[in-house]
């Protein structure tokens, strides 16, 4: 599996699946979540609302992942995962790593071979970018079904976060 990191806009990535740093409601929000919902169009919100009515009435648990269609995005799939919120005391590295491994497991299940990730839990959820990068890179490198994924790209929103991921990838 090829792994790289770029500075950019995840909503423009031409991959099979992009990962959404969602909130548990799946109904959109700020940051990456809001950008993905805006770029995907109203079909994404409608599908997320349907998931809440049926499979996830209490919302998506932290560390879990669920797929939806990509709608108006270049990606066929959006894989939603809820990162741990450090401001709420959710500081377990294993829970953050689960976001990446569960999202990759969902990617394999839907047949996505190329996946783009944001820096889940960095930013509004209060995790340090270097910690997120180290945990994310280790989780992706250690993914058990790596041969089913051709490429993972970390698409980062700021130069500082991008540098953190470049450092983690070089280690």
Catalytically active residues are: 33
β partners of residue 4: 153
Beta carbons of 107 and 101 less than 8 angstroms apart? no
Instruction: From 135, 57, 53, 122, select the one nearest 94 (Cα to Cα).
Output: 135
**Residue located via tokens 């599996």:** 1
Beta carbons of 137 and 162 less than 8 angstroms apart? no
Helix (H) or strand (E) holding 166: helix 159-170
């Amino acid at each position: 599996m090829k792994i790289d990191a770029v500075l950019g806009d995840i909503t423009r990535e031409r991959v099979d699946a992009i990962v959404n740093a969602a909130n548990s409601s799946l109904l959109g929000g700020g940051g990456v979540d809001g950008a993905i919902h805006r770029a995907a169009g109203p079909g994404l919100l409608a599908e997320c609302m349907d998931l809440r009515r049926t499979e996830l009435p209490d919302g998506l648990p932290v560390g879990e992942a669920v797929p939806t269609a990509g709608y108006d995005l270049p990606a066929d799939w959006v894989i939603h995962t809820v990162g741990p919120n450090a401001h709420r005391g959710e500081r377990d590295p294993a829970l953050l790593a689960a976001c990446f491994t569960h999202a990759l497991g969902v990617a394999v299940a839907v047949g996505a071979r190329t996946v783009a990730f944001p820096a889940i839990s960095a930013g509004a959820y209060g995790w340090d970018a270097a910690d997120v990068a180290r945990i994310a890179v280790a989780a992706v490198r250690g993914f058990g079904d790596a041969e089913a994924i051709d490429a993972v790209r970390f698409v980062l929103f700021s130069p500082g976060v991008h540098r953190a991921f470049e450092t983690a990838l070089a280690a």
